[in-house]
């Protein structure tokens, strides 16, 4: 690299990336490009991008309380950063978080799983280069923190020889924190425990994993009970499941009894909007109002109606879930779902959207909670031409749903191939299955319990690529895995620690 180029900002980024990449030029270029794109985004959109949920998280960040709608983890993270009074710092850390996770994943693939460097670089490229991922990191939402927690947790769990109780404690704690950040992370603890059993880990490790997960989740449930009289993480699970069934529930075919009749959606199924939007629209049976939580009675009634609708129309429920999972998730083009306004927030905008000063749950308004946290307006300022660069980049460079589906199929084929060959030392090892199942679970849980949303796809994306890389990218033909990864054979041969 020429001295003048090396001293330029892109040159300095590339030099640092090459050092972090351990000399691998391919990953160094990908890493440097990912960092540079995030710098451009931070210059082009200051200090952050806003979503409707963002104001609830900022309200938690000002003074934590068990929020009845939002999981607490991200709000607690904002609270820890509150002394700096900088939303720009929050966004910078979110970008840095994903870059660090990508570096950790690359090194884990090469050193722990014996994946060839180019395969490892390709597997981490979506995290670093996907335009939708970069935009999501710029939003004040829980998804970035959630992604970092689950990817690190699953990678630590999957490491060869990592079945001891100390590692199990760390993994369980990370998964517990992830579940408090987004409740969709809860099923991953089941996969983690099954993985340890497949690995024939000692019972102490399995017990410690479960305990380390239960401590933060259970502790928060106790706090939630003290405030709301219910051991739970939110007070809206029944309402969200009602939203799922509002896609098909048809009371004209059979009317529910008792108080459930009041939860019948007001329009015929074909005239309703998206499932999740039915919760918030004017005239919804949920009675939603800005600044007011759903009552325990409403959440209970909505949940009972949802279970009634599923029992009465099980085929329609399966169709709704299957359509969201197979069609919406893996479509090549994104649609305006769940609403055009929501879908637009997942793209870098041409013009900043004006904040609406609406009341928020917990007290105050959107304007007041932002001023209290930021000591400023928090309004997004768009700076050209940097905003134009990253906005056009996002339109062109992103992992399409169809691509993600093909990667999942490719990973599954690698798993089947490894099992048929019966060569556990090379392909088909359990960590590939763990990555694949984690990705599928993260894609499936939202359509099953609430609704599809494009931002819910992105946390699952890294696992699809990790599964494919570990299933197909180990070593070279005829090359022993222990030779490809110094110390791997010794780590694999070590007995599980207790």
Q: Where are the domains of the chain?
A: 1-140+339-398, 165-231, 237-329, 400-486
Residue closest to 169 by CA, chosen among 206, 195, 208: 208
User: What is the reported pLDDT for 353?
Assistant: 87
Q: Quick one: tokens of 373?
A: 């946290």
Question: In angstroms, rounded to a whole number, what is the distance separating the alpha carbons of residues 272 and 284?
Answer: 11
State the DSSP string of 147-168.
HHHHHHHHHHHHSTT--SHHHH
CB hemisphere CA count around 253 (13 angstroms) = 10
DSSP labels for 419-464?
Answer: HHHT-TTTSS-HHHHHHHHHHHHHHHHHHHHT---GGGTGGGHHHH
pTM for this model (two decimals): 0.90
Query: CB under 8 Å to 23, separation ≥6 — which residues?
Result: none
> Strands 381-382 and 45-46: what pairing?
antiparallel
Cα dihedral 405→409→414→415 (10° resolution): 100
Residue holding tokens 């391919």? 26
- For residue 487, count other CB atoms closer than 10 A to its CB: 12
Q: What is the largest CA-CA distance in the chain?
A: 78
Helix (H, G, I), strand (E, B) or coil at 381: strand
Q: Which helix (H) or strand (E) holds 237?
A: helix 237-245
pLDDT of residue 498: 31
DSSP labels, 264-311: S-SS-GGG---TTHHHHSTT-TT--BTTBPPPHHHHHHHHHHHHHHHH
d(CA 431, CA 462): 14
Digit-by-digit pLDDT tens for the chain (498 residues) are 555 545 666 666 656 655 666 668 899 999 999 999 999 999 999 999 999 999 999 999 999 999 999 999 999 999 999 999 999 999 999 999 999 999 999 999 999 999 999 999 999 999 999 999 999 999 999 999 999 999 999 999 999 876 788 999 999 999 999 999 999 999 999 999 999 999 888 999 999 999 999 999 999 999 999 999 899 999 999 999 999 999 999 998 889 988 999 999 988 988 888 998 999 998 899 999 999 999 999 999 999 999 999 999 999 999 999 999 999 999 999 999 999 999 999 999 999 888 889 999 999 999 999 999 999 999 999 999 999 999 999 999 999 999 999 999 999 999 988 766 655 444 447 899 999 999 999 999 999 999 999 999 999 999 999 999 999 988 754 343 443 444 443 444 344 433
Phi/psi of residue 407, each to 5°?
A: -65, -40
pLDDT at 484: 40
């Amino acid at each position: 690299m020429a001295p003048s180029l090396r001293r330029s900002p892109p040159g300095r980024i590339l030099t640092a990336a090459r050092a972090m990449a351990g000399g691998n030029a391919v990953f160094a270029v990908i890493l440097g490009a990912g960092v540079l794109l995030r710098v451009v985004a931070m210059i082009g959109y200051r200090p952050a991008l806003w979503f409707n949920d963002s104001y609830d998280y900022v309200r938690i960040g000002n003074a934590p309380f068990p929020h009845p709608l939002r999981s607490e983890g991200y709000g607690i993270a904002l609270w820890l950063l509150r002394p700096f009074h900088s939303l720009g710092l929050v966004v910078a850390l979110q970008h840095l978080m994903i870059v660090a996770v990508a570096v950790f994943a690359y090194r884990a693939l090469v050193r722990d799983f014996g994946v060839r460097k180019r395969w490892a670089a390709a597997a981490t490229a979506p995290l670093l280069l996907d335009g939708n991922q970069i935009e999501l990191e710029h939003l004040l939402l829980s998804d970035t923190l959630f992604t970092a927690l689950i990817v690190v947790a699953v990678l630590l769990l999957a490491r060869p020889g990592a079945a001891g109780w100390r590692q199990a404690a760390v993994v369980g704690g990370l998964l517990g924190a992830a579940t408090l950040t987004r409740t969709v992370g809860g099923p991953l603890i089941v996969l983690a425990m099954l993985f340890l059993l497949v690995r024939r880990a000692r019972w102490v490790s399995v017990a410690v994993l479960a305990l380390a997960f239960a401590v933060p989740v259970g502790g928060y449930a106790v706090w939630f009970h003290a405030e709301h009289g219910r051991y739970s993480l939110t007070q809206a699970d029944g309402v969200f499941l009602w939203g799922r069934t509002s896609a098909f529930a048809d009371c004209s075919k059979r009317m529910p009894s008792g108080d459930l009749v009041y939860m019948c959606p007001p329009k015929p199924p074909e005239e309703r909007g998206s499932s999740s939007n039915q919760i918030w629209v004017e005239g919804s049976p949920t009675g939603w109002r800005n600044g007011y939580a759903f009552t325990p009675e409403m959440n209970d009634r909505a949940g009972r109606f949802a279970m009634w609708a599923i029992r009465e129309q099980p085929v329609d429920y399966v169709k709704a879930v299957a359509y969201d999972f197979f069609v919406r998730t893996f479509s090549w083009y994104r649609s305006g779902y769940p609403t055009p306004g929501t879908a637009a927030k997942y793209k870098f905008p041409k013009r900043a959207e004006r904040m609406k000063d609406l009341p928020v749950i917990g007290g105050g308004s959107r304007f007041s909670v932002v001023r209290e946290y930021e000591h400023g307006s928090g309004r997004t300022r768009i700076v050209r031409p940097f905003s134009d660069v990253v906005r056009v980049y996002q339109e062109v460079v992103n992992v399409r749903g169809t691509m993600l589906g093909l990667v999942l199929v490719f990973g599954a084929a690698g798993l089947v191939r490894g099992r048929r060959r019966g060569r556990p030392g090379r392909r088909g090892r359990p960590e590939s299955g763990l990555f694949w199942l984690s990705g599928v679970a993260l894609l499936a849980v939202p359509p099953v319990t609430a609704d599809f949303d494009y931002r819910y796809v992105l946390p699952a994306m890294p696992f699809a690529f990790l599964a494919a890389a570990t299933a197909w990218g180990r070593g070279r033909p005829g090359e022993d895995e222990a030779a490809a990864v110094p110390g791997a054979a010794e780590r694999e041969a070590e007995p599980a620690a207790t």
